[in-house]
């Protein structure tokens, strides 16, 4: 049965109650938490990708992606408040819809985190190479700093940063809240400086045509830009620490997403208005696919004189409008801040693997703890190798889209779980209740489905292959070894050998 083998919610909550947290967060603190968690990677890295898909219409794409995130976040908040333990959507699904759905959600989250870490590694590489080339006036061969789809051979800087982050995770180094706050401030200051310098030199003619590829292009860009909002669930998972969560959670979620959307639109307007953002086309006037060899060749033909050709869109824009040093500083901000995002995503990946291994769904070796560093070193190293390979050979936009496919699947599952549990267990204590749940949850599910549909066909096919592989693994290995299937109910939050369950959220 598809909804069989449910992990008893009472067993999970019994552990959560042992470590209940002090309710100290108000609406303002939640809003600031959300802004810090969301703003960053996507806007630094994917602006050029969005411009190639939608042109100036990418401003609408940010609104669409933000709205889908908002309704998904309200559903996520109810589940995270009810089930405040590690494992994210995997744990929620296990407690509500059973093992098979939980397995597929966990399998999708593996895709989300590992591939997202690869995407950020590629984005970091683009800013690093841009900063070096502009500061030292040298030209680094593309063969060693771009993957084969982008016209190179291998992206060595992206591999190196993924390897360094893996090493840090193995030895157990995590940033302090102070360092996280500094990095968030650096990103916000950099983006604010960009807006202040780019908006005044806007030329409204650059907004025409506004949607050169129609609404289809805007939807496709929204599906990619969704990556720029990943991290908003940090607010949802803080429900346990929130004062008056029924009032403050919606304010924090909608407030932070609203502010981030406005911020993103201002940055997009600055790019479009100052240097233009029309898609690069071939001789026949057809817009080329982002991250393709054809686009790379066309960009070489026009000497890279289009923002869609840049691997560091914001820094490139500032250099083009006469602020080269500020552009270099914006690039430096990205170089400093993005590695911590890679660390956060890889940590999330290893923690999902760890919890699934402890449930018997993956080999026990994955939850093996290093005797000295107290970290799940086996799965951390395996994850690091996978991330490094993704970063070495795939373009950033493709990686972001594949990551989004896993994220959208997981959020849709949580949205369905909220409705399902409202019907099957209406008396359950809910510290936060999704408002108008039978309107919001279907909107969330449909919104996730729409963005999934607007992903490029390669990403959808790869997700399908990944899902089928997951079903094979489940039925050939995991189902027969599942602890719940054997009647063993375990919740491992308090195990003395468990690694830390979370890192401070930063995006």
In a domain, 487, yes or no: no
Any domain includes 15: no
Contact between 92 and 6 under an 8 Å Cβ cutoff? The reply is no
Q: How far, in Å, CA of 265 to CA of 253, rounded?
A: 18
Q: Say which residue, 501 or 119, is predicted with more confidence.
A: 119
pLDDT digits 0-9 by tens, 264-289: 999 999 999 999 999 998 888 888 88
The answer to whether residue 283 is domain-embedded is no
Is the pLDDT reported for residue 45 higher than 70? yes
At 264, is the secondary structure helix, strand, or coil? helix
Please give the average per-residue pLDDT across 313-338, as a whole number. 92
Q: Is residue 13 part of a domain?
A: no
What is the structure's pLDDT at 270? 95
Q: What is the pLDDT of residue 18?
A: 53
Classify residue 6 by burial, with Cβ atoms within 10 Å: 0-12, 13-18, 19+.
middle
Question: Which pLDDT tens digit goes with each residue over 159-180?
Answer: 999 999 999 888 875 555 567 6
Whether residue 443 is contained in a domain is answered as: yes
CATH assignment of the domain containing 405: 1.20.1740.10
pLDDT digits (tens, 9 = 90+) for 211-252: 999 999 999 999 999 998 877 766 666 665 678 777 887 888
For residue 502, being part of any structural domain is answered with no
Range of the domain at 356: 24-278+296-481
Task: Tell me: pLDDT of 26 over 60.
Answer: yes
* φ and ψ of 249, to 5 deg: -65, -50
Say what the pTM is: 0.87
Q: What is the mean pLDDT of residues 70-95?
A: 77
| pLDDT computed for residue 240 by the predictor | 58
Phi, psi (degrees; rounded to nearest 5) at 281 = -120, 165
Distance CA 112, CA 215 (A): 26
Q: Quick one: pLDDT at residue 504?
A: 40
Q: Which segment of 287-296, 367-376, 442-451, 460-469 scores lowest on mean pLDDT? A: 367-376
Q: Quickly count helices (H) and strands (E) in the chain.
A: 20, 0
User: Would 7 be classed as within a structural domain?
Assistant: no
At 122, the pLDDT band (50, 70, 90 cuts) reads: very high
For the stretch 334-381, pLDDT in tens is 998 888 888 878 887 887 888 888 888 998 888 788 888 888 888 889
pLDDT for 450: 96
CB 69 within 8 Å of CB 257 = yes
- Please report, for residues 133, 136, 202, 302, the alpha-carbon distance to residue 397 in angstroms, rounded to integers and kept in the order given: 22, 28, 26, 21
Lowest mean per-residue pLDDT among 12-21, 305-314, 329-338, 428-437: 12-21
Domain-embedded: residue 219: yes
Q: Give Cα separations from 384 to 176, 282, 349, 357, 503 (angstroms).
A: 22, 38, 10, 18, 17
Asked if pLDDT for residue 402 goes beyond 50, the answer is: yes
Taking a C-beta distance cutoff of 8 angstroms, is the pair 256, 70 a contact? no
CA atoms within 13 A on the CB side of 451: 34
- 75 pLDDT above the threshold of 80: yes
d(CA 207, CA 364): 55
Q: What is the pLDDT of residues 178-198, one digit of tens each?
A: 676 788 788 889 999 999 999
What pLDDT, on a 0 to 100 scale, did the predictor assign at position 84? 64
Query: Please, which pLDDT band fits residue 11 given cuts at 50, 70 and 90?
Result: low
User: Per the structure, how many domains does the chain have?
Assistant: 1
R_g over Cα of the chain: 22
- Is 444's pLDDT higher than 60? yes
Does 80 or 226 have the greater pLDDT score? 226
């Amino acid at each position: 049965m598809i909804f069989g083998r449910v992990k008893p919610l009472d067993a999970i909550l019994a552990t959560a109650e042992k470590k209940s947290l002090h309710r100290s967060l108000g609406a303002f603190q939640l809003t600031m938490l959300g802004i810090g968690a969301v703003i960053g990677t996507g806007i630094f890295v994917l602006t050029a990708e969005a411009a190639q898909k939608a042109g100036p219409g990418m401003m609408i794409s940010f609104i669409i992606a933000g709205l889908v995130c908002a309704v998904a976040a309200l559903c996520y908040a109810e589940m995270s408040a009810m089930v405040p333990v590690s494992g994210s959507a995997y744990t929620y699904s296990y407690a509500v819809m059973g093992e098979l759905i939980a397995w597929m959600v966990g399998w999708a989250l593996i895709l989300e985190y590992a591939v997202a870490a690869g995407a950020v590694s590629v984005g970091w590489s683009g800013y690093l190479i841009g900063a070096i080339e502009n500061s030292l006036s040298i030209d680094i061969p593309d063969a060693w700093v771009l993957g084969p789809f982008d016209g190179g051979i291998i992206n060595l800087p992206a591999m190196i940063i993924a390897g360094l982050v893996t090493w840090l995770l193995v030895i157990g180094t995590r940033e302090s809240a102070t360092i996280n706050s500094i990095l968030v401030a650096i990103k916000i200051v950099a983006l604010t400086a960009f807006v202040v310098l780019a908006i005044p030199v806007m030329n409204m003619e650059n907004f025409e045509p506004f949607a050169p590829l129609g609404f289809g292009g805007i939807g496709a860009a929204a599906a990619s830009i969704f990556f720029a909002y990943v991290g908003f669930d940090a607010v949802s998972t803080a429900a346990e620490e929130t004062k008056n969560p029924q009032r403050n959670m919606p304010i924090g979620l909608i407030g932070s997403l609203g502010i981030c959307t406005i911020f993103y639109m201002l940055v997009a307007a600055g790019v479009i208005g100052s240097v233009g953002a029309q898609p690069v086309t071939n001789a026949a006037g057809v817009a080329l696919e982002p991250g393709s060899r054809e686009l790379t060749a066309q960009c070489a033909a026009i000497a890279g004189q289009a923002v869609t050709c840049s691997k560091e869109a914001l820094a490139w824009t500032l250099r083009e409008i006469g602020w080269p040093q500020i552009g270099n500083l914006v690039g430096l901000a990205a170089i400093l801040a993005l590695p911590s995002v890679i660390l956060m995503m890889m940590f999330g990946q290893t923690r999902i693997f760890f919890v699934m291994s402890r449930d018997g769904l993956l080999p026990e070796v994955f939850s093996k703890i290093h005797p000295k560093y107290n970290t799940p070193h086996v799965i951390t190293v395996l994850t690091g190798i996978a991330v490094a390979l993704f970063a070495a050979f795939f373009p950033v936009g493709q990686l972001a889209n594949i990551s989004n496919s896993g994220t959208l699947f997981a959020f849709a599952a949580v949205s369905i779980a909220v409705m399902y549990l409202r019907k099957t267990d209406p008396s359950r204590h809910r510290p936060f209740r999704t408002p108008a749940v039978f309107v919001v949850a279907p909107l969330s599910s449909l919104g996730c489905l729409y963005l999934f549909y607007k992903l490029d066909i390669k990403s959808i096919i790869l997700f399908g292959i990944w899902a089928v592989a997951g079903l094979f693994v489940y039925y050939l290995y995991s189902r027969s070894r599942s602890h719940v299937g054997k009647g063993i109910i375990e919740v491992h939050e308090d195990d003395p050998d468990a690694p830390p369950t979370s890192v401070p959220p930063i995006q």
